[in-house]
């Protein structure tokens, strides 16, 4: 329903809700935010290989906590490994995967900290996962657009086939975000989502992958109710892999 509202109305709802409900919103946000720090980082190697036909293709997934698999036991169950597993399954080609990032990563830190690490890797495919922290931190829309532009232009020359952006799953699906916090955060996420999509579609070699309608069942969420479970990462990874192949046609 909210997705069908015009952009100006989303802006109006956000600012009215933020101003009128700020004390309650702030109190709820302070109570919920520590949940993002409950779960540890996954164990195991942050990279791996799925065997297949050569040449081997490289996949790098970078960004906030969901990019590095928080919510599951090992990196082999995380988003990067799941995207690679499905790419390998669909194409039968060898895929080397690697994940980079952390809990506190936002769009600005992605530009300053993570993109420089991509340069020596020269991946075929780069998946960038953002949105959760920038929503919590109330990154301004102008800063969001500016930093996205910097991320894209810093990364483009170091990625061979495609750069794919996706937002972490929406707050509206998480039981640990009560109303009105859940509603306001979801509105804010939708505004970031709109500007991300508009920024990406204008750029060659870049694409946006929507995952707005993520499953509501708690089977797909980790115990903190914020990060995906192993089943959630598998579903998300398959969706991203399908979209990558739909965009590229095949891995060259």
- Helices 22-32 + 7-20 axis angle, to 10: 90
Strands 162-167 and 93-101: unpaired
- Ramachandran class of 149: left when φ > 0, alpha when ψ lies in -120 to 50, beta otherwise: alpha
What confidence score (pLDDT) does residue 3 get?
A: 67
What confidence score (pLDDT) does residue 134 get?
A: 94
Low-confidence spans in the chain with pLDDT less than 50: 172-173
- Helices 141-155 + 181-201 axis angle, to 10: 40
What confidence score (pLDDT) does residue 172 get?
A: 46
What confidence score (pLDDT) does residue 71 get?
A: 87
What confidence score (pLDDT) does residue 202 get?
A: 82
Burial letters 143-154, b for 16+ CB under 10 A, else e: ebbebbebbbeb
What confidence score (pLDDT) does residue 230 get?
A: 93
Q: CA 66, CA 68: separation in Å to the nearest integer?
A: 5
Q: CA 12, CA 86: separation in Å to the nearest integer?
A: 41
pTM over 0.85: yes
Q: CA 25, CA 203: separation in Å to the nearest integer?
A: 36
Q: Which residues contact 209 (CB under 8 A, 6 or more apart)?
A: 164, 165, 166, 239, 240, 243, 244
Task: Tell which residue, 190, 186, 189, 187, has the closest CA to residue 172.
Answer: 186
Contact 168, 133 (CB under 8 A): no
Domains of the chain with bracketed CATH: 2-248 (3.40.50.1110)
What confidence score (pLDDT) does residue 32 get?
A: 66
């Amino acid at each position: 329903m909210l997705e069908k509202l015009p952009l100006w109305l989303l802006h109006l709802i956000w600012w009215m809700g933020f101003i009128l409900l700020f004390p309650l919103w702030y109190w709820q946000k302070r109570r919920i935010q520590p949940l993002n720090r409950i779960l540890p980082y996954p164990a195991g190697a942050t990279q791996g290989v799925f065997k297949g036909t050569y040449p081997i293709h490289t996949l790098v997934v970078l960004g906030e906590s969901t990019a590095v698999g928080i919510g599951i036991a090992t990196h082999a169950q995380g988003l990067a490994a799941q995207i690679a597993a499905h790419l390998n399954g669909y194409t039968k080609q060898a895929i080397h995967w690697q994940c980079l990032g952390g809990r506190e990563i936002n769009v600005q830190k992605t530009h300053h900290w993570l993109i420089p690490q991509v340069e020596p890797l020269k991946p075929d495919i780069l998946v960038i996962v953002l949105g959760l922290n920038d929503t919590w931190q109330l990154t301004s829309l102008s800063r969001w657009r500016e930093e996205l532009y910097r991320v894209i232009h810093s990364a483009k020359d170091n990625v061979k086939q495609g750069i794919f952006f996706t937002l972490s799953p929406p707050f509206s699906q998480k039981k640990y975000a009560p109303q009105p916090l859940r509603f306001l955060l979801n509105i804010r996420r939708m505004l970031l989502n709109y500007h991300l999509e508009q920024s990406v579609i204008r750029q060659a070699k870049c694409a946006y992958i929507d995952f707005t309608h993520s499953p509501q069942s708690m089977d797909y969420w980790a115990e903190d109710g914020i990060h995906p479970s192993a089943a959630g990462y598998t579903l998300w990874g398959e969706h991203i892999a399908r979209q990558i192949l739909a965009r590229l046609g095949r891995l060259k």
